[in-house]
Structure 1
Amino acid sequence: MLKKLMMIVLAVSLAAAISGCGSKDSGGTKYKFATDAAYSPMEFMDKDKMTGFDIDFLAEVMKEAGLPYEVNNIGWDTMLTSVKQGKEYQGGISSVSITDERKQSYDYSIPYFESKNMILVKEGSPVKSAADLKDKKVAVQISTTADTLMTKIMGDTNKSLKRLDNNTLALMELENNGVDAVVADIAIVREYVKNNPNKKLVIIADPTNFESEYYGILLPKGSELKAKLDPAIKKMIENGAYAKVYKKWFGEEPDTKKLLEQK
Protein backbone atom coordinates (compact mmCIF):
# COMPACT_ATOMS: atom_id res chain seq x y z
CA MET A 1 0.00 0.00 0.00
CA LEU A 2 2.81 2.38 0.91
CA LYS A 3 4.62 1.55 -2.33
CA LYS A 4 1.44 2.24 -4.33
CA LEU A 5 0.94 5.57 -2.53
CA MET A 6 4.52 6.63 -3.26
CA MET A 7 4.05 5.81 -6.94
CA ILE A 8 0.92 7.96 -7.08
CA VAL A 9 2.74 10.89 -5.42
CA LEU A 10 5.63 10.51 -7.85
CA ALA A 11 3.27 10.44 -10.84
CA VAL A 12 1.48 13.61 -9.66
CA SER A 13 4.81 15.40 -9.10
CA LEU A 14 6.03 14.42 -12.57
CA ALA A 15 2.82 15.62 -14.20
CA ALA A 16 3.15 18.97 -12.39
CA ALA A 17 6.75 19.33 -13.58
CA ILE A 18 5.79 18.64 -17.23
CA SER A 19 2.83 21.06 -17.21
CA GLY A 20 5.06 23.79 -15.74
CA CYS A 21 7.76 23.27 -18.36
CA GLY A 22 8.28 26.41 -20.45
CA SER A 23 5.82 28.43 -18.40
CA LYS A 24 8.03 29.98 -15.73
CA ASP A 25 6.31 33.36 -16.07
CA SER A 26 2.77 32.50 -17.17
CA GLY A 27 1.00 32.17 -13.85
CA GLY A 28 -0.92 29.24 -15.33
CA THR A 29 -2.17 31.23 -18.33
CA LYS A 30 -2.03 29.73 -21.81
CA TYR A 31 -1.92 32.62 -24.26
CA LYS A 32 -3.97 32.38 -27.45
CA PHE A 33 -2.81 34.06 -30.66
CA ALA A 34 -4.82 34.53 -33.84
CA THR A 35 -3.46 34.57 -37.38
CA ASP A 36 -4.53 34.57 -41.02
CA ALA A 37 -2.55 31.65 -42.46
CA ALA A 38 -2.86 32.69 -46.10
CA TYR A 39 0.26 34.82 -46.38
CA SER A 40 3.12 32.62 -47.56
CA PRO A 41 5.96 32.62 -46.56
CA MET A 42 4.99 34.53 -43.40
CA GLU A 43 2.14 32.28 -42.26
CA PHE A 44 0.40 29.61 -44.31
CA MET A 45 -1.01 26.11 -44.26
CA ASP A 46 1.18 23.24 -45.48
CA LYS A 47 -1.50 20.56 -45.80
CA ASP A 48 -2.88 20.46 -42.24
CA LYS A 49 0.12 22.12 -40.60
CA MET A 50 0.47 25.85 -39.93
CA THR A 51 3.95 27.10 -40.77
CA GLY A 52 5.90 30.14 -41.92
CA PHE A 53 8.30 32.79 -40.64
CA ASP A 54 5.83 34.32 -38.16
CA ILE A 55 4.91 30.91 -36.76
CA ASP A 56 8.56 29.95 -36.18
CA PHE A 57 9.36 33.41 -34.83
CA LEU A 58 6.52 33.29 -32.30
CA ALA A 59 7.60 29.83 -31.16
CA GLU A 60 11.09 31.16 -30.37
CA VAL A 61 9.74 34.27 -28.64
CA MET A 62 7.39 32.30 -26.40
CA LYS A 63 10.18 29.84 -25.62
CA GLU A 64 12.46 32.72 -24.62
CA ALA A 65 9.70 34.27 -22.50
CA GLY A 66 8.79 30.89 -20.96
CA LEU A 67 5.10 31.24 -21.84
CA PRO A 68 2.71 28.49 -23.01
CA TYR A 69 0.64 29.43 -26.05
CA GLU A 70 -1.34 28.29 -29.07
CA VAL A 71 -2.00 29.82 -32.51
CA ASN A 72 -5.33 29.57 -34.34
CA ASN A 73 -6.01 30.38 -37.99
CA ILE A 74 -9.16 32.52 -37.95
CA GLY A 75 -8.78 34.93 -40.89
CA TRP A 76 -7.64 38.55 -41.16
CA ASP A 77 -10.74 40.59 -40.29
CA THR A 78 -11.78 38.19 -37.52
CA MET A 79 -8.27 38.39 -36.07
CA LEU A 80 -8.35 42.19 -35.96
CA THR A 81 -11.75 42.21 -34.25
CA SER A 82 -10.93 39.42 -31.77
CA VAL A 83 -7.60 40.87 -30.66
CA LYS A 84 -9.15 44.30 -30.24
CA GLN A 85 -11.75 42.78 -27.90
CA GLY A 86 -9.00 40.96 -25.97
CA LYS A 87 -11.28 38.22 -24.65
CA GLU A 88 -10.70 34.96 -26.54
CA TYR A 89 -7.35 36.02 -28.05
CA GLN A 90 -4.54 37.80 -26.25
CA GLY A 91 -2.56 38.57 -29.40
CA GLY A 92 -2.34 38.37 -33.17
CA ILE A 93 0.61 37.57 -35.42
CA SER A 94 -0.01 37.83 -39.14
CA SER A 95 2.45 40.26 -40.76
CA VAL A 96 0.61 43.14 -39.07
CA SER A 97 2.16 46.49 -39.95
CA ILE A 98 2.55 49.02 -37.15
CA THR A 99 0.60 52.14 -38.13
CA ASP A 100 -0.48 55.27 -36.25
CA GLU A 101 -4.11 54.51 -37.11
CA ARG A 102 -3.95 50.99 -35.62
CA LYS A 103 -2.15 52.29 -32.53
CA GLN A 104 -5.37 54.07 -31.60
CA SER A 105 -7.07 50.69 -31.16
CA TYR A 106 -4.21 48.29 -30.35
CA ASP A 107 -0.89 47.93 -28.59
CA TYR A 108 2.07 46.29 -30.34
CA SER A 109 5.19 44.47 -29.37
CA ILE A 110 8.43 46.11 -30.43
CA PRO A 111 9.01 45.75 -34.22
CA TYR A 112 10.32 42.39 -35.40
CA PHE A 113 10.29 42.60 -39.21
CA GLU A 114 11.00 45.26 -41.83
CA SER A 115 8.78 45.18 -44.91
CA LYS A 116 7.87 47.26 -47.96
CA ASN A 117 4.92 47.15 -50.28
CA MET A 118 5.79 46.20 -53.85
CA ILE A 119 3.98 46.32 -57.19
CA LEU A 120 3.57 43.10 -59.14
CA VAL A 121 2.75 43.24 -62.85
CA LYS A 122 3.05 41.04 -65.90
CA GLU A 123 6.04 41.36 -68.19
CA GLY A 124 5.54 44.17 -70.74
CA SER A 125 3.38 46.28 -68.42
CA PRO A 126 3.77 50.07 -68.81
CA VAL A 127 3.63 50.47 -65.01
CA LYS A 128 6.91 51.77 -63.57
CA SER A 129 5.78 53.32 -60.27
CA ALA A 130 2.80 53.67 -57.96
CA ALA A 131 1.77 56.86 -59.75
CA ASP A 132 1.19 54.83 -62.91
CA LEU A 133 -1.45 52.78 -61.11
CA LYS A 134 -3.89 55.67 -60.76
CA ASP A 135 -5.82 54.75 -63.90
CA LYS A 136 -5.21 50.98 -63.76
CA LYS A 137 -7.07 48.08 -62.19
CA VAL A 138 -5.30 47.11 -58.97
CA ALA A 139 -5.92 44.32 -56.44
CA VAL A 140 -5.02 44.52 -52.75
CA GLN A 141 -5.94 42.67 -49.58
CA ILE A 142 -8.59 44.61 -47.71
CA SER A 143 -7.64 46.43 -44.47
CA THR A 144 -3.88 46.19 -45.16
CA THR A 145 -1.36 48.99 -45.63
CA ALA A 146 -1.44 48.21 -49.36
CA ASP A 147 -5.16 49.04 -49.26
CA THR A 148 -4.44 52.31 -47.42
CA LEU A 149 -1.67 53.33 -49.80
CA MET A 150 -3.64 52.58 -52.96
CA THR A 151 -6.76 54.28 -51.60
CA LYS A 152 -4.73 57.48 -51.24
CA ILE A 153 -3.47 57.16 -54.83
CA MET A 154 -6.66 55.95 -56.53
CA GLY A 155 -9.43 57.33 -54.32
CA ASP A 156 -11.74 55.66 -51.83
CA THR A 157 -14.62 55.11 -54.28
CA ASN A 158 -12.55 54.04 -57.28
CA LYS A 159 -14.10 50.80 -58.58
CA SER A 160 -10.82 49.88 -60.27
CA LEU A 161 -9.33 49.26 -56.83
CA LYS A 162 -10.32 45.70 -55.92
CA ARG A 163 -10.20 45.03 -52.19
CA LEU A 164 -10.14 41.28 -51.70
CA ASP A 165 -10.20 39.04 -48.62
CA ASN A 166 -6.62 37.83 -49.06
CA ASN A 167 -3.56 38.12 -51.29
CA THR A 168 -4.15 34.72 -52.86
CA LEU A 169 -7.33 36.09 -54.46
CA ALA A 170 -5.50 39.26 -55.49
CA LEU A 171 -2.76 37.26 -57.20
CA MET A 172 -5.36 35.12 -58.96
CA GLU A 173 -6.96 38.28 -60.31
CA LEU A 174 -3.64 39.28 -61.88
CA GLU A 175 -3.09 35.79 -63.26
CA ASN A 176 -6.57 35.80 -64.86
CA ASN A 177 -6.15 39.34 -66.26
CA GLY A 178 -8.79 40.73 -63.93
CA VAL A 179 -6.39 43.47 -62.81
CA ASP A 180 -3.26 45.16 -64.16
CA ALA A 181 -1.31 44.95 -60.91
CA VAL A 182 -1.21 43.67 -57.34
CA VAL A 183 0.23 45.66 -54.44
CA ALA A 184 1.38 43.58 -51.46
CA ASP A 185 4.22 43.11 -48.98
CA ILE A 186 7.63 42.25 -50.40
CA ALA A 187 7.80 38.80 -48.77
CA ILE A 188 4.51 37.75 -50.37
CA VAL A 189 5.40 39.10 -53.80
CA ARG A 190 8.88 37.55 -53.84
CA GLU A 191 7.55 34.16 -52.74
CA TYR A 192 4.90 34.16 -55.46
CA VAL A 193 7.38 35.07 -58.20
CA LYS A 194 9.86 32.46 -56.96
CA ASN A 195 7.19 29.77 -57.06
CA ASN A 196 5.87 30.81 -60.47
CA PRO A 197 8.92 31.34 -62.72
CA ASN A 198 6.99 30.65 -65.93
CA LYS A 199 4.37 33.36 -65.43
CA LYS A 200 6.71 36.18 -66.54
CA LEU A 201 6.04 38.54 -63.66
CA VAL A 202 7.91 41.72 -62.74
CA ILE A 203 8.36 43.19 -59.26
CA ILE A 204 8.51 46.99 -59.05
CA ALA A 205 9.81 48.87 -56.03
CA ASP A 206 8.73 52.45 -55.36
CA PRO A 207 10.54 53.77 -52.25
CA THR A 208 9.14 57.26 -52.86
CA ASN A 209 5.52 56.20 -52.40
CA PHE A 210 6.03 52.97 -50.45
CA GLU A 211 8.32 53.52 -47.48
CA SER A 212 9.58 50.81 -45.15
CA GLU A 213 7.11 49.59 -42.56
CA TYR A 214 7.52 47.29 -39.59
CA TYR A 215 5.55 44.35 -38.27
CA GLY A 216 4.72 43.90 -34.61
CA ILE A 217 2.76 41.35 -32.61
CA LEU A 218 -0.74 42.78 -32.29
CA LEU A 219 -2.08 43.17 -28.74
CA PRO A 220 -5.23 44.56 -27.09
CA LYS A 221 -4.93 48.02 -25.57
CA GLY A 222 -3.29 47.88 -22.15
CA SER A 223 -2.10 44.29 -22.59
CA GLU A 224 0.13 42.93 -19.81
CA LEU A 225 1.68 40.62 -22.41
CA LYS A 226 3.72 43.43 -23.99
CA ALA A 227 6.04 43.63 -20.96
CA LYS A 228 6.77 39.91 -21.36
CA LEU A 229 7.18 39.79 -25.13
CA ASP A 230 9.35 42.87 -25.71
CA PRO A 231 12.39 41.68 -23.69
CA ALA A 232 12.12 38.22 -25.27
CA ILE A 233 12.06 39.66 -28.81
CA LYS A 234 14.98 41.97 -28.07
CA LYS A 235 17.06 39.14 -26.62
CA MET A 236 16.20 36.87 -29.55
CA ILE A 237 17.38 39.52 -32.03
CA GLU A 238 20.60 40.09 -30.06
CA ASN A 239 21.56 36.44 -29.47
CA GLY A 240 21.21 35.28 -33.08
CA ALA A 241 18.03 33.21 -32.71
CA TYR A 242 16.12 35.73 -34.86
CA ALA A 243 18.71 35.59 -37.66
CA LYS A 244 18.50 31.80 -37.68
CA VAL A 245 14.72 31.88 -38.28
CA TYR A 246 15.07 34.68 -40.83
CA LYS A 247 17.70 32.84 -42.88
CA LYS A 248 15.59 29.68 -42.85
CA TRP A 249 12.75 31.47 -44.65
CA PHE A 250 14.52 34.15 -46.72
CA GLY A 251 18.00 32.77 -47.30
CA GLU A 252 19.80 35.95 -46.19
CA GLU A 253 20.92 37.82 -43.09
CA PRO A 254 18.45 40.33 -41.61
CA ASP A 255 19.43 43.93 -40.84
CA THR A 256 19.06 43.53 -37.09
CA LYS A 257 20.80 46.84 -36.35
CA LYS A 258 18.12 48.76 -38.21
CA LEU A 259 15.43 46.65 -36.55
CA LEU A 260 16.70 47.40 -33.03
CA GLU A 261 16.73 51.13 -33.82
CA GLN A 262 12.95 51.07 -34.23
CA LYS A 263 10.71 51.94 -31.30
Structure 2
Amino acid sequence: MKKIIGLVLLVIMAGAIFAGCGGADTKAPAAQTKKKIVIGLDDSFPPMGFRDDKNNIVGFDIDMAKEAAKRLNVEVEFKPIDWSAKEMELNGKRIDALWNAMNITEERKKNVLFSDPYMESKQLIFVLAGSPIKGAADLAGKAVGVQESSIGDEVVSKDAKLKASLKDLKKYPDCIAAFLDLKAGRIDAIVTDEILGRYYMSKEAGKYVAIEKPMGEVGVYGVGFRKDDKELRDKVQAALNEMKKDGTSAKISKQWFGADIVR
Protein backbone atom coordinates (compact mmCIF):
# COMPACT_ATOMS: atom_id res chain seq x y z
CA MET A 1 0.00 0.00 0.00
CA LYS A 2 2.81 2.39 0.96
CA LYS A 3 4.53 1.60 -2.35
CA ILE A 4 1.37 2.46 -4.29
CA ILE A 5 0.94 5.77 -2.44
CA GLY A 6 4.61 6.59 -3.03
CA LEU A 7 4.27 5.93 -6.77
CA VAL A 8 1.17 8.14 -7.00
CA LEU A 9 2.93 11.00 -5.21
CA LEU A 10 5.96 10.59 -7.48
CA VAL A 11 3.78 10.84 -10.59
CA ILE A 12 2.03 13.97 -9.25
CA MET A 13 5.32 15.67 -8.40
CA ALA A 14 6.83 14.85 -11.75
CA GLY A 15 3.80 16.28 -13.54
CA ALA A 16 4.04 19.47 -11.56
CA ILE A 17 7.74 19.82 -12.33
CA PHE A 18 7.28 19.28 -16.07
CA ALA A 19 4.30 21.67 -16.13
CA GLY A 20 6.39 24.30 -14.41
CA CYS A 21 9.29 23.84 -16.84
CA GLY A 22 6.96 23.99 -19.79
CA GLY A 23 5.46 27.29 -18.57
CA ALA A 24 8.92 28.81 -18.13
CA ASP A 25 9.91 27.88 -21.66
CA THR A 26 6.80 29.13 -23.37
CA LYS A 27 5.94 32.26 -21.44
CA ALA A 28 8.44 34.99 -20.48
CA PRO A 29 7.73 37.28 -17.51
CA ALA A 30 5.72 40.37 -18.41
CA ALA A 31 7.85 43.48 -19.00
CA GLN A 32 7.77 46.06 -16.20
CA THR A 33 6.21 49.33 -17.26
CA LYS A 34 7.47 52.47 -15.52
CA LYS A 35 4.55 54.20 -13.82
CA LYS A 36 6.43 57.20 -12.46
CA ILE A 37 9.47 59.25 -13.47
CA VAL A 38 11.46 60.90 -10.69
CA ILE A 39 13.12 64.10 -11.90
CA GLY A 40 16.15 65.42 -10.02
CA LEU A 41 16.63 69.20 -9.96
CA ASP A 42 18.09 72.19 -8.20
CA ASP A 43 14.92 73.88 -6.90
CA SER A 44 16.72 77.24 -6.65
CA PHE A 45 17.31 77.78 -10.37
CA PRO A 46 14.71 80.20 -11.73
CA PRO A 47 13.11 80.32 -14.18
CA MET A 48 13.89 76.69 -15.07
CA GLY A 49 13.00 75.10 -11.73
CA PHE A 50 12.35 76.91 -8.44
CA ARG A 51 9.83 77.39 -5.62
CA ASP A 52 7.10 80.02 -5.86
CA ASP A 53 5.70 82.03 -2.94
CA LYS A 54 3.51 79.04 -2.03
CA ASN A 55 6.54 76.71 -1.97
CA ASN A 56 5.42 74.87 -5.11
CA ILE A 57 8.13 73.80 -7.54
CA VAL A 58 7.52 75.66 -10.81
CA GLY A 59 9.42 76.74 -13.90
CA PHE A 60 9.99 76.22 -17.59
CA ASP A 61 11.62 72.81 -17.23
CA ILE A 62 8.90 71.78 -14.77
CA ASP A 63 6.14 72.57 -17.27
CA MET A 64 8.02 70.78 -20.05
CA ALA A 65 8.53 67.66 -17.91
CA LYS A 66 4.88 67.61 -16.80
CA GLU A 67 3.68 67.79 -20.40
CA ALA A 68 6.07 65.03 -21.52
CA ALA A 69 4.98 62.78 -18.63
CA LYS A 70 1.33 63.42 -19.49
CA ARG A 71 1.96 62.26 -23.06
CA LEU A 72 3.76 59.15 -21.78
CA ASN A 73 0.87 58.44 -19.39
CA VAL A 74 3.12 58.33 -16.33
CA GLU A 75 3.29 60.28 -13.08
CA VAL A 76 6.16 62.69 -12.54
CA GLU A 77 7.82 63.50 -9.21
CA PHE A 78 10.24 66.41 -8.79
CA LYS A 79 12.99 65.69 -6.28
CA PRO A 80 15.30 68.51 -5.15
CA ILE A 81 18.91 67.28 -4.96
CA ASP A 82 22.38 68.57 -4.23
CA TRP A 83 23.31 69.64 -7.77
CA SER A 84 26.99 68.97 -7.13
CA ALA A 85 26.06 65.29 -6.58
CA LYS A 86 23.66 65.03 -9.53
CA GLU A 87 25.42 62.19 -11.35
CA MET A 88 25.68 60.19 -8.13
CA GLU A 89 21.94 60.64 -7.53
CA LEU A 90 21.18 59.54 -11.10
CA ASN A 91 23.44 56.52 -11.27
CA GLY A 92 22.49 55.49 -7.72
CA LYS A 93 18.92 55.19 -9.11
CA ARG A 94 17.47 57.63 -6.59
CA ILE A 95 16.18 59.61 -9.56
CA ASP A 96 15.39 58.68 -13.17
CA ALA A 97 16.42 61.86 -14.95
CA LEU A 98 18.11 65.24 -14.53
CA TRP A 99 15.93 67.97 -16.02
CA ASN A 100 17.04 71.41 -14.90
CA ALA A 101 18.96 73.45 -17.48
CA MET A 102 21.73 70.85 -17.52
CA ASN A 103 24.52 71.67 -19.95
CA ILE A 104 25.62 68.88 -22.29
CA THR A 105 29.41 68.52 -22.08
CA GLU A 106 31.85 65.89 -23.29
CA GLU A 107 32.85 65.19 -19.70
CA ARG A 108 29.25 64.65 -18.59
CA LYS A 109 28.56 62.41 -21.58
CA LYS A 110 30.92 59.85 -20.02
CA ASN A 111 28.40 59.19 -17.24
CA VAL A 112 25.09 60.53 -18.56
CA LEU A 113 22.92 59.73 -21.59
CA PHE A 114 21.45 62.98 -22.91
CA SER A 115 18.37 63.93 -24.88
CA ASP A 116 18.78 66.10 -27.96
CA PRO A 117 19.63 69.73 -27.06
CA TYR A 118 16.53 71.82 -26.36
CA MET A 119 17.95 75.29 -25.60
CA GLU A 120 21.18 77.26 -25.93
CA SER A 121 23.22 78.09 -22.84
CA LYS A 122 25.57 81.06 -22.47
CA GLN A 123 27.70 81.89 -19.44
CA LEU A 124 27.70 85.63 -18.79
CA ILE A 125 29.20 87.93 -16.18
CA PHE A 126 26.60 89.75 -14.06
CA VAL A 127 27.49 92.81 -11.99
CA LEU A 128 25.73 95.61 -10.16
CA ALA A 129 24.75 98.64 -12.25
CA GLY A 130 27.58 101.15 -12.20
CA SER A 131 30.27 98.51 -11.75
CA PRO A 132 33.63 99.24 -13.42
CA ILE A 133 33.71 95.65 -14.67
CA LYS A 134 33.13 95.62 -18.43
CA GLY A 135 34.64 92.25 -19.37
CA ALA A 136 36.58 89.21 -18.17
CA ALA A 137 39.88 91.14 -17.99
CA ASP A 138 38.33 93.46 -15.40
CA LEU A 139 37.73 90.56 -12.99
CA ALA A 140 41.39 90.65 -11.93
CA GLY A 141 41.61 91.43 -8.23
CA LYS A 142 37.86 90.96 -7.78
CA ALA A 143 35.73 88.49 -5.81
CA VAL A 144 33.67 86.36 -8.20
CA GLY A 145 30.78 84.06 -7.33
CA VAL A 146 29.70 80.86 -9.10
CA GLN A 147 27.34 78.00 -8.33
CA GLU A 148 29.38 74.98 -7.27
CA SER A 149 29.73 72.28 -9.99
CA SER A 150 27.95 74.50 -12.53
CA ILE A 151 29.23 75.36 -16.00
CA GLY A 152 30.04 78.83 -14.68
CA ASP A 153 32.26 77.16 -12.07
CA GLU A 154 33.94 75.07 -14.79
CA VAL A 155 34.51 78.05 -17.10
CA VAL A 156 36.25 80.10 -14.42
CA SER A 157 38.12 77.21 -12.76
CA LYS A 158 39.55 75.87 -16.03
CA ASP A 159 40.88 79.27 -17.09
CA ALA A 160 44.09 79.14 -15.04
CA LYS A 161 45.14 82.69 -15.87
CA LEU A 162 41.73 84.14 -14.98
CA LYS A 163 41.40 82.11 -11.78
CA ALA A 164 44.88 83.11 -10.60
CA SER A 165 44.04 86.78 -11.15
CA LEU A 166 40.98 86.75 -8.91
CA LYS A 167 40.96 88.01 -5.37
CA ASP A 168 38.53 85.20 -4.50
CA LEU A 169 36.43 82.57 -6.27
CA LYS A 170 33.47 81.94 -4.02
CA LYS A 171 31.32 78.87 -4.68
CA TYR A 172 27.67 78.76 -3.67
CA PRO A 173 25.17 75.89 -3.39
CA ASP A 174 22.75 77.91 -5.54
CA CYS A 175 22.63 81.19 -7.46
CA ILE A 176 20.09 82.80 -5.14
CA ALA A 177 22.77 83.02 -2.44
CA ALA A 178 25.28 84.35 -4.99
CA PHE A 179 22.96 87.15 -6.13
CA LEU A 180 22.20 88.07 -2.53
CA ASP A 181 25.93 88.45 -1.89
CA LEU A 182 26.35 90.48 -5.09
CA LYS A 183 23.51 92.76 -4.06
CA ALA A 184 25.08 93.21 -0.61
CA GLY A 185 28.50 93.99 -2.11
CA ARG A 186 30.21 90.90 -0.66
CA ILE A 187 31.29 89.84 -4.17
CA ASP A 188 31.94 91.91 -7.29
CA ALA A 189 30.51 89.68 -10.03
CA ILE A 190 28.78 86.40 -10.80
CA VAL A 191 29.42 84.04 -13.71
CA THR A 192 26.28 82.04 -14.45
CA ASP A 193 23.76 80.97 -17.10
CA GLU A 194 22.34 83.82 -19.15
CA ILE A 195 18.75 82.65 -18.65
CA LEU A 196 19.03 82.56 -14.87
CA GLY A 197 20.90 85.86 -14.67
CA ARG A 198 18.43 87.68 -16.87
CA TYR A 199 15.58 86.35 -14.73
CA TYR A 200 17.12 88.09 -11.70
CA MET A 201 17.62 91.24 -13.77
CA SER A 202 13.91 91.25 -14.65
CA LYS A 203 12.95 91.05 -10.97
CA GLU A 204 14.91 94.17 -10.01
CA ALA A 205 15.00 96.48 -13.01
CA GLY A 206 18.13 98.58 -13.17
CA LYS A 207 19.88 96.71 -10.33
CA TYR A 208 22.09 94.39 -12.38
CA VAL A 209 23.96 94.52 -15.67
CA ALA A 210 24.90 91.63 -17.96
CA ILE A 211 28.26 91.68 -19.76
CA GLU A 212 27.12 90.53 -23.19
CA LYS A 213 30.26 88.69 -24.33
CA PRO A 214 29.91 85.00 -23.34
CA MET A 215 32.48 83.33 -21.09
CA GLY A 216 33.77 80.15 -22.72
CA GLU A 217 31.89 78.34 -25.47
CA VAL A 218 28.16 78.65 -26.02
CA GLY A 219 26.60 75.43 -24.76
CA VAL A 220 23.25 73.66 -24.93
CA TYR A 221 20.83 72.19 -22.40
CA GLY A 222 19.67 68.58 -22.42
CA VAL A 223 17.76 66.11 -20.24
CA GLY A 224 20.09 63.58 -18.58
CA PHE A 225 19.41 59.86 -18.12
CA ARG A 226 21.39 56.83 -16.97
CA LYS A 227 23.62 55.41 -19.68
CA ASP A 228 21.72 52.09 -19.62
CA ASP A 229 18.25 53.70 -19.69
CA LYS A 230 18.01 54.29 -23.44
CA GLU A 231 14.38 53.17 -23.52
CA LEU A 232 13.26 55.97 -21.19
CA ARG A 233 15.46 58.48 -22.98
CA ASP A 234 13.93 57.58 -26.34
CA LYS A 235 10.35 57.79 -25.01
CA VAL A 236 10.93 61.22 -23.48
CA GLN A 237 12.67 62.41 -26.66
CA ALA A 238 9.71 61.27 -28.76
CA ALA A 239 7.38 63.27 -26.48
CA LEU A 240 9.61 66.35 -26.79
CA ASN A 241 9.64 65.99 -30.57
CA GLU A 242 5.83 65.90 -30.59
CA MET A 243 5.67 68.97 -28.34
CA LYS A 244 7.97 70.86 -30.68
CA LYS A 245 5.99 69.82 -33.74
CA ASP A 246 2.56 70.74 -32.40
CA GLY A 247 3.66 74.06 -30.87
CA THR A 248 3.29 73.09 -27.20
CA SER A 249 6.95 73.76 -26.35
CA ALA A 250 6.74 77.16 -28.05
CA LYS A 251 3.67 78.02 -25.97
CA ILE A 252 5.44 77.05 -22.71
CA SER A 253 8.53 79.03 -23.77
CA LYS A 254 6.50 82.17 -24.47
CA GLN A 255 4.87 81.92 -21.03
CA TRP A 256 8.28 81.99 -19.33
CA PHE A 257 10.49 83.99 -21.69
CA GLY A 258 8.11 85.99 -23.86
CA ALA A 259 9.47 84.26 -26.98
CA ASP A 260 10.02 80.80 -28.44
CA ILE A 261 13.65 80.02 -27.64
CA VAL A 262 13.35 76.22 -27.77
CA ARG A 263 15.67 74.58 -30.28
TM-score range, shorter chain: 0.7 to 0.9
- 2:37 corresponds in structure 1 to 31
Match of 1:68 among 63, 69, 75: 75
Residues 194-222 of structure 1: per-residue CA shift (max 9 Å, x gap): 111253x2111214x43321111111122
Distance 1:105 1:160, change over 3 A: same
- 1:106 corresponds in structure 2 to 112
Partner of 1:96, secondary structure, is strand
- 1:204 corresponds in structure 2 to 211
Match of 2:49 among 33, 40, 43: 43
- TM-score normalised per structure 1: 0.80
Name the CA distance, whole Å, in 2 between partners of 1:233 and 1:112. Answer: 9
Residues 145-178 of structure 1: per-residue CA shift (max 9 Å, x gap): 1001111233389661111111011111111111
Give, in angstroms, the shift of residue 84 of structure 1: 2.6
Is residue 124 from structure 1 mapped to residue 130 from structure 2 by the alignment? yes
Distance 1:250 1:75, change over 3 A: same
Residues 122-152 of structure 1: per-residue CA shift (max 9 Å, x gap): 2222222223224321000010110011112
Match of 1:192 among 194, 200, 213: 200
- 1:233 corresponds in structure 2 to 240
Name the CA distance, whole Å, in 2 between partners of 1:157 and 1:102. Answer: 28
Name the CA distance, whole Å, in 1 between partners of 2:167 and 2:138. Answer: 16
The one-letter amino acid paired with 1:39 is F
Partner of 1:41, secondary structure, is coil
Contact 1:26 1:66 in 2 (8 A): no
Name the CA distance, whole Å, in 2 between partners of 1:76 and 1:157. Answer: 27
Partner of 1:168, secondary structure, is helix
Moved more, 37-46 or 153-162: 153-162
Contact 2:47 2:59 in 1 (8 A): yes
- Let me know the Cα RMSD of the aligned residues: 2.1
Q: Structure 1, unaligned stretches of length 5 or more? A: 1-24
Name the CA distance, whole Å, in 1 between partners of 2:129 and 2:34. Answer: 55
The one-letter amino acid paired with 1:75 is D
Distance 1:124 1:104, change over 3 A: same
- 1:55 corresponds in structure 2 to 62
- 1:166 corresponds in structure 2 to 174
- Number of aligned positions between the proteins: 229
Contact 2:40 2:95 in 1 (8 A): yes
Distance 1:64 1:36, change over 3 A: same
Is residue 139 from structure 1 mapped to residue 154 from structure 2 by the alignment? no
Name the CA distance, whole Å, in 1 between partners of 2:138 and 2:86. Answer: 33
Q: Structure 2, unaligned stretches of length 5 or more? A: 1-30
The one-letter amino acid paired with 1:164 is Y
Name the CA distance, whole Å, in 1 between partners of 2:164 and 2:84. Answer: 19
| Structure 2 counterparts to residues 232-251 of structure 1, below 5 A | 232-251=239-258
The one-letter amino acid paired with 1:144 is S
The one-letter amino acid paired with 1:54 is D
Distance 1:180 1:28, change over 3 A: closer
- 2:189 corresponds in structure 1 to 181
